[in-house]
Every structure is written in structure tokens, then in C-alpha cells.
Chains A and B, each alone.
Chain A
Amino acid sequence: MEQYTNNDITKLTVLGRFFHKMGMFLLQRTIGQQVALFCRAISSIFSASRSFKTDSKNIILQTFFTGVEIFPVLFVVATLFGTIVIVEIMTMMGKMGFSDVVGNLMVVVIIRELGPILTAFLIAGRSGSSLTTYVGSMVIDSEVDALATMGVDPIRYLVMPGLIGGTIATFIMTIIFSGSAIGAGYLVIKGLTAITGNALNLQLTWDYLSTEILKALSMTDFIFIVIKPIVFGCIITTNACYQAMNIPRDIRQVPKATGKSVIKSFFYIVCADVILSLFYFLDYFNEISKII
């Protein structure tokens, strides 16, 4: 009887066995499997079955699904968030005599930190969960198995467009969120000022706001405006697909996996944000060392 065991490990050298054990250790952990899934989805772009027309269509559909449909909610949240942040910063900093740091604070709060995180949370809650439910239902109904038996790689057909489309949408939505928070937030404040007769006592002009923000933006900010949403988008879509692909064949597991997908995405996003923020610290240290 041919037992399905791995006999080849014994043929490896000591170093080979060490790396094999390390690799197996990582791949048997959720995070290792998610990284492997991400790598396989990326590598599947170059598979023999690639078709520019079909792939573009799938990616555009996924971008639309992730981004465009979330836009109304995202715009409202961004506007309200921007209004609160601008009002708080303008009033508090003015009172404390720190009017010159208004731009820096806006950049840190809206563009650098909370803007990308809130956008990622919204996308994880809406599009990430939908992706888990969609792929998870396909797993339950044997549709994913059917794809494989037709020789259609489920990673390429389902995960890759989700990953690329989701990441593009996260990037675009983050830019829109930051833009809406500042632009629409400013308009709301102007409206409130007109209605209340400047009861808030805010001497806010667009020239002042935009100049302060542009002055405060550094090269590192521009780099991270691109990197952060891409990292968050990859995390959300990979995690959503991973949770869906591992659903046991039981319909009750779909809502469970959806919840797990959202919560884990939140957790990974915060962890990734902390890691990425370390680069800002390096940037600060660099600047301080230049001054010294």
C-alpha cells in the first residue's frame, strides 16, 4: 500500500532540512499561508492562460465593486471626519498659540494616519466582507471545485482580480478620502460659518488651509500616500480570499468567516500601519541628525 508521506526530506542535507523545517513552520501558520496565497496570486498574472482582455475586464469589475459602490458612504464619512478635524485643529491650536502647526497636524491626521486607516477600515468592512461571502459561497456550492476540475485555477480566476482590483480601488479611495476630508470639510465649515454667523470664530480661508497643508507635505508623505493604501489593499483582499477559501463545507461558516475576515483585516491594517510608521521615525531621526 502506497502511503502518502514525504520521504524526500531524508535525502536533504542538514542545512536543507533546517530550511525545510523553517519553511514548513511558516507555511503551517495562517500568516505564512496568506503570504503564500498573495505570492501565488501575483505569479498567476503571468500564467499561460493570461488574457489581457478578460483580465482587464475582471480587474475593472473588481475595482468598480470595491471602490465605486463604497464611494457615497466614504464621501460622507470623509466630509464629516474632515469637518471635525479642521474645526478641532483650528480652534485648539489657535487657542494654544500654535497656529503655525495647523498644516502639519492636518497632514499627520488626515493624509498620513487616519485617512488611509479609515478608508481601509471602510473597504475591509464593506468590500472585504463581500469578497469573503462571495468566494465563500462559491466554495460551499462546489463552484470553486468545479473551476479546478475544468482546469481553471481558482487563485487566478477569483483571487488575482480581487487582489489587483481591490488594491487599485483602495489606493484611489484613499486619495479621494483625503481630498474629500479637506475639500468638502472646508466647504461644510464655510457653510456652518455662514449659517451660524461665525459663532465658531474661525478665520479660515482656502488659501490659508491649502498653503499650510502643502507646506507641511514632505517627500516621505508622497511616498507613503502611495505605499500605505497599496499595502492595506493587499492585506484586505488577500485576507478576505484566504478566509473564504478555507471555509469548511457548512453554510453556517460563511458569516463566521466574514466576521473573521473583517476583524483580522482591522488587526493586520493597524499592525502594518505601525510598521510603516517606523519609517517616519527614521525620517525624523534623519532630520534631527542633520540639524545637530
Chain B
Amino acid sequence: MNNEALRIEDLHLSFQGLAGTKFSMPRSLSFFDKTRDNDREIISGANLVLQRGETLCIGGPSGQGKSALLRVIAGIARPSAGKLYYFGEHIPPERQTALEIAKRQVGLVFQNGALISNLRVRDNIALPLRYHKKGTAQEIEEKINMAMDLMRVRDFANFFPHQLSVGMQKRVAIARSWAMDPELLLMDEPTAGLDNYNRRNLLPLIDNMRTLFKTSIIIITHDLMIAKELGCNLCFLYQKKLTEPHPFDYWLHANNDISKELFRDLRTSG
């Protein structure tokens, strides 16, 4: 069995691809779009290998295309070139859609939670489970309750998303993704908007997903301490390039532009 959860080879992404999938259009049609001459590249030649059960943090200054990279992996944004392998299987360009990639147990937690606004918390978590008929009604109910307990949102089960704080919405979004038993979980800024208490509680949960469920996780974050606390590798999207992943301590003491710029505060504070 291939031990790789994700492999990205020579990935290029431009602004046109970032516009995303047009769900109203036939699946393969968007691949016939003519590339605009003035289209600016966001990511140029990114390579990445993520092993099963591995957690990887991707950092970098704002506006470098970190979230865009996550959208490409989830199949929402369309790369202009490059190859993507999910669990050893190459997905050809015309099939690189979110629906196709979701079939491979890839989940995404959006930066804003992206909860369905007209569904209550409970129904938001239940939606994908019921849609994919993941077990009997009782099994689904148990899974929903477990997910809500894990993220401590059970008291808000009958609330609508607009009645929740940003941090709470994020916890529901994580619960929704967790309930689907993803093998590869993509998280966009999971700790942004969370207070220290909830942040402290979230990190062990992420760690548990890795150790107990062997979930591979990619975390996009500005909070570089996550990599230290989870003991995982960290790489950066910097000037259109994705760097090699290294442990937190490597970056902290490295003598390169990224470390000098992004770890300056951490170095001075000791």
C-alpha cells in the first residue's frame, strides 16, 4: 500500500485558476478556457509529499497563496499545471473537482467555517453524513453527538450559524469535517478567532486525529507555534515557491530570509 497521502509535483497556479470551479458549468468545460496573457502566477512549481498520518503546517506572509494552495488540493481552485496524487492515485486535470476529490476522504475546514446558513449546528454536521448515507439513523445520530462533544458545541446544537461567534463556527466546521472520518484533512487557519482556552483544547484534538485515526493533516496558519506544539514539520509559501518542510526548531535557528523575517519576534522573545 502506498504510504503517501498527498503528492504534489510541479504545481502552478494563476489568478484565473483561483476563480474556482463553476458548478453551473459542465465538469470538463472549464479546462477549455483560454489562458489570459496578463494572468499573474500565484504559485510557481510547488512540490510536496505528505505521508499518511503526518501533520504539516504551511506558513508564510499574507497574500502568498497559502489558502489558494489548500483550495487547489481540495479541488476548488484549478491549477494551470502540475500533477496531484491522492493516496498514490493521480487525478487527471479534467477530474480535479471538489466532488471527485471528496470521494477520496479529503476534508476541508474553511477559514470562515463556511457553515450552511439555513441549517442548525446539528443539521450542519449531519448534512454530509445523511447525504452519503453513512450508517443508520441511530449511527449517524451517535456520530453527530460525538463530534459535538469533541468540539464542545453540544449546547449550541439547535443554534443557527449566525447566532454563533466566529470561534464557535470554526469549532462546528471542524466537528463537521471530523464526523466524515477524513483520511486527509485540510485546515485553513484553524486557530484564528479562537481564544487561548479553545486553542489549547483544539491542538490535542488535532494531535489525536493524527495518532488515533492516522489522519493526515495540512494546516495553513500564521500561528507558527502550532508546529512546535504539535511537533510537526513546517514549510513556507514564500515568493511563489513552497519550501522544503523542516521542524520548527530548524526554522527558528536557520539563517535564511524566511527565518529572519518570520521568526524575528520569536527569536527576540526567546
Contact = CB atoms under 8 A, between A and B. Distances in A.
A2 B116 contact: no
Contacts of B93: 2, 4
Contact of A24 (B22, B32, B127, B128): B32
A43 to B, nearest CB: 12
B10 A145 contact: no
Contacts of B60: none
Interface stretch (B95-103, B230-238, B247-255): B95-103
A137 B131 CA distance: 22
A72 B78 CA distance: 46
A27 B30 CA distance: 10
A97 B47 CA distance: 86
Nearest to B31: A4
Contacts of A33: 24-26
A51 B130 contact: yes
Interface stretch (B80-88, B195-203, B206-214): B80-88
A16 B98 CA distance: 29
Interface string A24-53: 100110000100110010000000010100
Given A49-B133, A143-B117, A2 B81 contact: yes
Interface in A242-278: 242, 245-246, 248-249
B112 A142 contact: yes
Residue of B32, B114, B128, B180 with highest tally of chain A CB at under 10 A: B114
Interface residues of B, number: 48
Q: How large is the interface on A (under 10, 10 to 19, 20 to 34, 35 or more residues)?
A: 35 or more
A249 B68 CA distance: 14
Contact of B22 (A146, A241, A246): A246
Secondary structure call for the A interface: helix
A183 interface: no
Given A4-B80, A242-B24, A245-B22, A148 B98 contact: yes
Interface in B91-137: 93, 97-99, 101-103, 106-108, 110, 112, 114-117, 127-128, 130-133
A152 B19 contact: no
B220 to A, nearest CB: 14
Given A27-B26, A245-B22, A245-B24, 13 more contacts: A1-B10, A1-B45, A1-B81, A4-B80, A24-B29, A37-B24, A49-B131, A51-B130, A144-B23, A149-B75, A150-B131, A155-B23, A249-B20
Interface of A: 1-6, 24, 27-28, 33, 36-37, 40, 49, 51, 54, 137-138, 141-155, 157, 159, 241-242, 245-246, 248-249
Interface of B: 10, 12, 19-26, 29, 31-32, 45, 71, 74-76, 78-83, 93, 97-99, 101-103, 106-108, 110, 112, 114-117, 127-128, 130-133, 176, 180
